[in-house]
Chains A and B, each alone.
Chain A
Amino acid sequence: MAFIPHTAADVTAMLSTIGVERLEELFEEIPRALRIETLPGVPAALNEMQISRLMSERARSDGQPLCFIGAGAYEHHIPAAVWAIATRGEFYSAYTPYQAEASQGTLQTIYEFQTMIASLTGMQVANASLYDGASAFAEACLMATRLNRKSKSLNILVPEAVHPHYRKVARTVIAHQGVRITPVPFDARSGRTAAAALEAHANEDITALAIQQPNFFGVLEDVDALSQWARSRSIPVIAIVNPVSLALLEPPGGWRGGADIVVGEGQPLGIPLASGGPYFGFMATRQEHVRQMPGRIVGRTLDLAGHPGFTLTLQAREQHIRRGRATSNICTNQGLMVTAATVYLALMGPQGLERVAAASHERAHRLIAALTRHAGVRRAFSAPFFHEAVILLEQPVAPVLEALAGEGIHGGLDLSRDYPQLGNALLTCATETKTDEDIERFARALGELI
């Protein structure tokens, strides 16, 4: 079999079948101004030896910085066994297999993953994963419009304390389907989304309410009050959660008003930061909503001989059968990342995950205490936080971060672009990976710069 699937003759044959002369004609609807003809910094063609050398040089220039950036992706210790198992030949694929039932081991892994996510989130069913946390949130918004057909406004309340990237991705995906996002402000003192802020919408037709716990600032929201506000008005609740935090916090299924859809970023569960991906999104819901949930679902069943086995189920709502009326047409999942996360969760167990969460919480509090020792550095918000928090400096954050980076410290995320109203605000995080010495090194370096 030829390694390159399409020969020049194949391409010509395909083009002539559809009556097109040149391949470029297929891209003509993309405006010229949006096309990139050449990639700056990327040489034409290199052989394997040259490219390996170039890549190792580039990797070396990353150095080994001490990372205190969280903001949606978190550095946790990953036991060596996680990737030793996930990269075994039997598991090493990003995809659910096309002849799925022939791969019982893969299906069982996904089934166990779904069970773990359902148990962590306090929900009844979970899918086989989605692309990442932000796109899982976008899918949750679309799913909410299907759950709440009584609502004609297609208006989803999304707090400004929800991750800005999640809000942007959701807007990109849903805006052209007529779904709107209405921002809900956060309380400037506490950093929380106040139930009182929802009251401004008490008499409006609202399709769904999103709640992120902990929110983007690391702050713990009053999830009982927010979810109860929605429940009392029969508005579906979309919960966005950090899976590690659920080892300590009440899962969305247990919030006073409950949750209808729970989504989040799975990266903290054994996936390296890796310059931003690949990660994976997870999604869980109530049994009664399962037919509106996008993505693949593995079920357990009995074969003809009565032996237990695993199978893809509820496929009739998926795009390969329902085409344009499927629950989703962007339901890429992340099989390999999910395999790693399943191994991670199995290795840690509920107690192990709880220790990771508790240690991260303790480290972050030690970090904030160390940083705010300096005059002119203080916490931006008063509400309790999980493992990251916003601090305020008396000078612009960007030059401080740059100077810290020069000393091999990534101090956090400058919030001036997404939240200019906060002033010189820095979102910083510590997980169980940070020692007392690491924290002192960061605090000392900051002290010398301000």
Chain B
Amino acid sequence: MSQIPSDLKYTKTHEWVRTLSDGAIEVGITDHAQEALGDLVFVELPEAGRKVGAGEPYAVVESVKAASDIYSPVAGEVSAVNAALSKTPELINQDPYGAGWIARLKASDPALRTGLLSAQEYEQHLAAEDH
């Protein structure tokens, strides 16, 4: 069973969202997503300052068997990227909710009112996807 921390929000496309103390949000992919992709060998990161819309692909993760787009959970502007992933993409496999974060965004709507799932809803979504 994959981990789904209760203090985060989620998307149906398996991204997670954390609100940081300064109001910025941090995004990454879920434990379930990293497990499904397998060993990651490369991460294509966005540039800081790039504006993204909700649901827009902003990064690419590549495993030995597939390259997958990562969609932005919210609209906003990329304020920082996890540069450590360029050299050590496996951080996403090892610690998807911590050292494996992908980017920080200044969200257009910091209250995150639209379209995100709670941990419980994401868990139900995973269960439904399984069937």
Contact = CB atoms under 8 A, between A and B. Distances in A.
Interface stretch (B13-21, B64-72, B94-102, B106-114): B64-72
A185 to B, nearest CB: 34
A325 B56 CA distance: 13
A325 B61 CA distance: 13
Nearest to A316: B67
Interface in A254-292: 291
Nearest to A149: B47
A268 B72 CA distance: 48
The secondary-structure label for the interface of chain A is helix
A321 B44 contact: no
A257 B130 CA distance: 54
Contact of B65 (A291, A316, A325): A316
Interface in A403-438: none
B123 interface: no
A291 B44 contact: yes
A150 B46 CA distance: 11
Nearest to B64: A316
Nearest to A326: B67
A316 B66 contact: yes
Contact of B42 (A291, A322, A325): A291
A365 interface: no
A291 B41 CA distance: 11
A325 B66 contact: no
A149 B65 CA distance: 26
B63 interface: yes
B62 interface: yes
A321 B66 contact: yes
A290 to B, nearest CB: 10
A316 B68 CA distance: 9
A325 B69 contact: yes
Contacts of A317: 62, 67
Nearest to B42: A291
Interface in A317-345: 317, 321-322, 325
Contacts of B64: 316
A449 B52 CA distance: 67
Contacts of B42: 291
A150 B47 contact: yes
Contacts of A325: 67, 69
Contacts of A150: 47
Interface in B60-106: 62-67, 69
Contacts of A322: 66-67
A316 B63 contact: yes
Interface in A102-159: 149-150
Which residue among B42, B44, B47, B67 has the maximum number of chain A CB atoms within 10 Å of its CB?
A: B67
Nearest to B69: A325
A316 B89 CA distance: 15
A287 to B, nearest CB: 13
Which residue among A291, A316, A325 has the maximum number of chain B CB atoms within 10 Å of its CB?
A: A316
Interface of B: 42, 44, 47, 62-67, 69
5 contacts: A291-B42, A291-B44, A316-B64, A316-B65, A325-B69
Given A316-B63, A317-B62, A322-B66, 10 more contacts: A149-B47, A316-B62, A316-B64, A316-B66, A316-B67, A317-B67, A321-B66, A321-B67, A322-B67, A325-B69
